[in-house]
Amino acid sequence: MNGRNDRNSQLQRIFDGFHQFLSYPFSFYREGATLSRQKEPMRKIKEVLRLAELDALGERQIARGTNMKKSTVHDYLLRIQQAKITWSIAQQMNDDELDRLLFPAREATASKKTLPDWDHIHKELRRKHVTLQLLWEEYREAHTDGLGYSRFCELYRDFSGTVDLSMRQTHKAGEKVFLDYSGSRVPIIDARTGEEKEAEIFIAVLGASNYTYVEGTWSQQIPDWIGSHVRAFTFFGGVPAQLVPDNLKTGVTKAGYYDPEINPTYQRFAEHYGVAVIPARAAHPKDKAKVEAGVLIVQRWIIAKLRNRTFFSLPELNETLAELLIELNEHPFKKMAGSRKTLFDAVDKPALRPLPSRPYEFDEWKKATVNIDYHVSFDEHYYSVPYKLVQKTISIRATNLMIEVFYKGTRVASHQRSYQKYRHTTIAEHMPPSHRWHAEWTPDRLVEWGRKSGADVAALFDEIMKSRLHPEQGFRACMGIKRLGEKVGNIRLNAACQRALAIGGKSYKCVRNILERGQENAPLPSEQLVLSIHHDNVRGAGYYRESQQEDSYVASSHD
């Protein structure tokens, strides 16, 4: 019986010992660590003191309650007694003060050791494939009596906790650039009209060095978004491995935890530069802490300095931003040696991949149906296509300089891009030969079609086509006016056209504005104020009759 009890006692001691083994952190068992050197958290030591003083528990009970060895509890109680510390005193002390009183020998030993250069350690961790283990080994090669690995890691964690928030996360060199817009906009005054517009502020921050790029744009739309990326890469002088946007709708069509949907144009941009787009995850603030800290710094260091400045153009704003950006990137860190610029030169810049031979050319794609005037609309400008494609569905590719039109994968037209609203760009070869023009769509036919809505509608149609270089360029406006009658009725439409004729408004937009403001029945201005337009390219009604007679003659001659 006694032998069985002894065996049970041995098993219990083995179990308690194994349980005690599991209670220690794994880092304790690294090379060079010993049990006597393992440092318990101060909260556990305080708990030993509380249980001993307030609850009057014995060492065995305290050991069970704190999951420590009885010998360790005994050692702590002895140190507490020697230091003459009570529970009320311990409550008023921080962990460092209590540690120095209880472990003066350990503190003295640590103070004699040569400590690492924590700034250097923090910067080296940003390099690819560098770990704390490697840095500790290099440190011990230089200082054979230096810190053990566990103490080395502990002191580094203490140091990293004191670094600025935006610097705490460890990002590898050249790996990530974080992108977002500042919530604060900068007003710009149009010097001609006095109108005030607000510019968006784009911000890009490299992960390892916090090196920052800032510029102003008119919008957050995809052309400005892509353009800002291209200029940021040029500013950095290289390409990172990953882009981390903050789920902006422009770049991320559909946010998702596992599979976010990237805007197709943004994806083509990423493929051109060979980068991966990894959007910040929703509800994960650490994913975007870098750029949010960057936004805050830009707002305080740059935008705040502009509060009393007046800008009259976007280039003027960007010139000022560039000057302030130099100051920001060269400003010394508060708790680290160097600046964003020096850290960028030492860490990020060597790791960036080279820029491609040519920058990405932004393009947009759009599907459209060719109008009866053999023109297609892009950004409110009209471009001609071969007349045989009337009523066909085509694809438009637009860059900053060119407009290309594709039909079934084949390019059928290209134009220099124009930013003039409601104007036409027409190539003569796209126009139909007079004798082949569809009888269904002629200027006279269109005027008669307008006459069904009223005499003034027909008269305005005639004036619109006379005012264009090519009559077909007025077809679209006439059709738009005709559709307005479907909404307001022919009586109101005819009155609006009468007023448009009186004020010289030969456009769809003029008629629409009259109807929207309910001015179709307002008194007409004096006829003396109506200006007549005389121009070599403006044709009279006789032109259409002569052209029609010529078409008939040409057609009969072919017969």
The upper half-sphere exposure of residue 508, i.e. CA atoms within 13 Å in the direction of its Cβ, equals 16
437 sits in which H/E element: none
Phi/psi for 388 (5° steps) reads -65, -15
**Shortest CA distance to 324 belongs to which of 168, 247, 214?**
214
CA 33, CA 456: separation in Å to the nearest integer? 98
Number of H helices, E strands in the chain: 23, 14
Place of tokens 């789920």: 247
CA-nearest of 351, 461, 480, 363 to 414 is 363
User: Six-digit token pair at 325?
Assistant: 């950006």
The DSSP secondary structure of 352-395, one letter per residue, reads: SBPPPSS----EEEEEEE--TTSEEEETTEEEE--GGGTT-EEE
* Cβ atoms 255, 247 nearer than 8 A: yes
- The confidence score (pLDDT) of residue 19 equals 46
Which pLDDT does position 249 carry in this prediction?
55
Report CA Rg, the chain.
39
pTM of the model: 0.47
Helix 508-516 with 490-503: angle, nearest 10 deg: 120
Sequence-distant (≥ 6) Cβ neighbours of residue 150 within 8 angstroms: 27, 28, 30, 32, 33, 37, 38
pLDDT at 61: 83
pLDDT (0 to 100) of residue 141: 82
The structural domains of the chain, ordered by start, are 25-111 (no CATH), 113-162 (no CATH), 176-351 (3.30.420.10), 363-431 (no CATH), 437-558 (no CATH)
Distance of CA 65 to the CA centre of its chain: 52
Secondary structure of 137-201 in HEC code, one letter for each residue:
HHHHHHCCCCCCHHHHHHHHHHHHCCCCHHHHCCCCCCCEEEEEEEEEEEEEECCCCCCEEEEEE
Contact (Cβ atoms closer than 8 angstroms) between residue 314 and residue 197: no
Alpha carbons within 13 angstroms on the beta-carbon side of residue 135 total 22
Residue type at position 549: Q
Profile the chain (559 residues) by mean pLDDT over runs of 10 residues: 54 49 38 39 79 79 82 85 83 78 61 72 70 81 82 78 52 83 88 88 88 92 89 94 72 44 77 83 53 78 85 93 92 80 89 90 86 86 90 89 90 91 83 53 73 84 80 78 84 87 86 88 62 51 45 35
Q: Strands 196-206 and 393-399, how do they pair?
A: unpaired
248 SS3 class? coil
Q: Cα 419 from chain centroid?
A: 26
Angle, helix 443-451 to helix 541-558, in steps of 10 degrees = 130
pLDDT at 204: 92
Asked if 422 and 465 touch (Cβ cutoff 8 Å), the reply is no
pLDDT at position 414: 93
Which residue matches tokens 């139909």?
A: 432
> Cα dihedral angle (14, 19, 21, 25), rounded to 10 degrees?
180
